Each structure stands twice: as C-alpha cells, then as structure tokens.
Amino acid sequence: MADKKVRFGILSTAKIAEKQLVPALKEAVNAELTAVASQSGKEKEAAQRWGAPFHYDDYRTLLKDPDIDAVYIPLPNSLHQKWAIEAMKNGKHVLLEKPAALNSDDIIAISSTAKEYNVQWMEAFMYQFHPQHTYVKKLIQDGEIGKIKRFRSHFSFPMDLTSDNIRLNKELGGGALFDVGCYCVHASRDLLDEEPLKVFSNARKLTEDGVDISSTSILTFEEADAVIDCSFDEPPSNYYEVIGTKGKIEVLHAFRPDENPDQGEGIVILKDLNNQIVNEKRLGGNPYTLQVEHFADCVLQDKEPRYNGEKSYNNMKVIEALYRSQG
C-alpha cells in the first residue's frame, strides 16, 4: 500500500488543470496522471503535452475506464454537480474544483451519492493545505494576538470584462464571489472556527446579465467581524489579516503563495499592538501538490478528507446568503 498510487483522470483541458493540477500530480508521491478527456477535440494534444498515457473524446468513456481510480473536475461551475455524481456512479473518487456546486442542495446530493457508492470526494480549496495556515492557527491558539476581533481578506485580479470568459457567464456559475470571494469566506470560517450569525454583501455587477464583478461583504460572528473584498476589476492581490486584542497576523500571499515572485513562499507576519513586527516567517510548499497528496491518501486509506462534504455545505450556505443579500 505504501508505494501504491491513485490513478487520476481529468475531465476537460482547462487551464487550471494544465498549469496547476498536472504538475501537482507529477510531484505527488501517491498519485499519477493516467488519462484526460475532452469534448472539444483537444484531448490528444493535451495528453501528449501533459504526459497522460490515455485520452478520450468523451467524459463518460473516461469514467468507465476501470484503470482510473479518481477524477479531477475543473469544468465550469454549473457542471460540477452533474459530473461529480456521474463519476461517483462509476465508482470514481472525486476531487472537485471549487465552488463544488452553485447551491447547498447540490452539495447534499453530491455527498449522498458519494456515501451511496462508497467513494471519497473533496472540494478543491487547495490554499488550506499550505503550511502557512497551520502556522497562523498555532499563533492564534498560543494567544499571540489575544482574542480575535476582526478578520479582513481581499482576493482580486484584473479581467477583460468584455471577454467571453466563463467567469462572466451567469448561466455557467460566473461571478467574483463564486470564483475568488469563496476563498475569503472559507478562510474566515476556518480561522474563527465558527459559523457567522448574519451576513451582508454589496456587489458591483455587469449590466447585461447581472454577474458580480466585485463585492464587499461583512460576516458577523459571535465576537468578531469579517470584512471580505473580491473583484475581477482590480490589481492582483490575495491576502488576509487576523486582528486581535494584542496584535495581528498578516498573510501576504494567502491564497496563491505559488504566485509570490519571491520563490513562491508564503509569508506570515506577526505584529504587536503598536504595529511593530514581532516575527516574520516564510514557508514553502506547493498547495496543489499537498492537496493532491492529502486526497490521494484518503482514497488509499479509505478515510474522509479533512475538508469534507459537511464543511463544503456550510461554506456554500454562507455564499448563498451573501448572494441573497446582494439582491
């Protein structure tokens, strides 16, 4: 079992698969890329480029391959639930790109199917597997910043708002909150280790179809507040800070440490009440590889991922409430 590897298939030739998951599968000690499927005619070229032994021109054909143990699904958000369930019914474990679905009922359906067919599944919030967040939690648990009073987070990048990018397509599950704001929501809940009591969100939207291109949200927890900003219309940025009664923690490349031009490291800064730096720690690690290895280990050991279906459901409930607030 120690040297066994989970054989992955990938549904689609999406850019995130090529840029992030394929390299992660090659680095992982317990996983490997076996096949790719595309319905756009690009599967053969992608298989050659990615080093996949097999390729299919239909998703269902890949799912019926008995030599594939698990699939990674980076399809448009609106297709996540459909193909996750289809994969599970064919006995495949599923690593599902975030957001796992467009509503909490769909996540219930995914989790129920996984249980019925005795397979594992996990929503791919890869950032949480980077060691910088474990370090942040330790600082909090050790009382370095006292009692948490506020969490702030921002995730943005500029996009051509006149393009046909699927992130701008409402029918496909587009929107800044679904695409990048979901990370900020996840981080606030994960670090405060509780669910918000109420939420409010205001969004700037494209006139034609109502897709949110930027938003500011407030999540009210029992003793702390979270302020979350996300956008497709601002310079690249991804960070969070946790503010307490004794100081604060700043994480400069919170969600994409791999995009830090300085060696791709995570940077965690601890400051005191006078905003003076007490400690700065740099941590390495590819979050995509760490995510793949964790999920593959769960498949091999038949154990539930640490980020399970219940947690995905709870995160989606908050996102749903934020979208309702936007009107």
277 plus 145 within the same structural domain: yes
184 plus 234 within the same structural domain: yes
| Residues above pLDDT 70, as percent of the chain | 99
The residue range of the domain holding 83 is 6-127
Band (207; pLDDT cuts 50, 70, 90): low
- Helix 104-116 to helix 80-89 angle (10° resolution) is 10
Band (245; pLDDT cuts 50, 70, 90): very high
pTM score: 0.95
Q: Does 2 have pLDDT greater than 70? A: no
Q: Which two tokens stand for residue 75?
A: 């399809």
CATH, residue 201: 3.30.360.10
CB 32 within 8 A of CB 58: no
217 plus 116 within the same structural domain: no
- Helix 104-116 to helix 309-326 angle (10° resolution) is 160
User: Per-residue pLDDT averaged across 61-86, rounded?
Assistant: 97
Residue 304 lies in a domain: no
CB 200 within 8 A of CB 218: yes
Boundary residue ending a domain (127, 143, 169): 127
149 plus 262 within the same structural domain: yes
Distance CA 288, CA 293 (A): 9
Residue 323 lies in a domain: no
171 plus 252 within the same structural domain: yes
User: Per-residue pLDDT averaged across 94-117, rounded?
Assistant: 98
Residue 312 lies in a domain: no
Active site residue 98: yes
- The answer for 12, left when phi > 0, alpha when psi is -120 to 50, beta otherwise, is left
Residue 27 lies in a domain: yes
Boundary residue ending a domain (127, 157, 182): 127
Band (122; pLDDT cuts 50, 70, 90): very high
| Residues above pLDDT 90, as percent of the chain | 94
33 plus 137 within the same structural domain: no
Distance CA 166, CA 173 (A): 8
Residue 91 lies in a domain: yes
144 plus 29 within the same structural domain: no
Q: Does 156 have pLDDT greater than 70? A: yes
Boundary residue ending a domain (79, 96, 127): 127
Angle at 29 between CA 26 and CA 34, to 5 degrees: 45
Residue 290 lies in a domain: no
Band (208; pLDDT cuts 50, 70, 90): confident
256 plus 166 within the same structural domain: yes
155 plus 122 within the same structural domain: no
- 267 alpha-carbon distance from chain centroid: 19
165 plus 230 within the same structural domain: yes
Residue 315 lies in a domain: no
DSSP three-state, residue 169: coil
Q: Does 125 have pLDDT greater than 90? A: yes
**Which residues are CB-neighbours of 208 under 8 A, at least 6 positions away?**
none
CATH, residue 111: 3.40.50.720
Catalytic residue chosen out of the listed positions 98, 248, 271, 311: 98
Report the chain's mean pLDDT, rounded to a whole number: 96
Q: Which two tokens stand for residue 291?
A: 């995510």
Band (311; pLDDT cuts 50, 70, 90): very high
Of the listed ranges 123-127, 136-140, 159-163, 182-186, the one predicted with least confidence:
159-163
pLDDT tens profile 268-303: 999 999 999 999 999 999 999 999 999 999 999 999
143 plus 195 within the same structural domain: yes
Number of domains in the chain: 2
Q: Which two tokens stand for residue 216?
A: 């500011």
Band (225; pLDDT cuts 50, 70, 90): very high
Band (1; pLDDT cuts 50, 70, 90): very low
Q: Does 320 have pLDDT greater than 60? A: yes
DSSP three-state, residue 55: strand
Q: Does 49 have pLDDT greater than 60? A: yes
Residue 310 lies in a domain: no
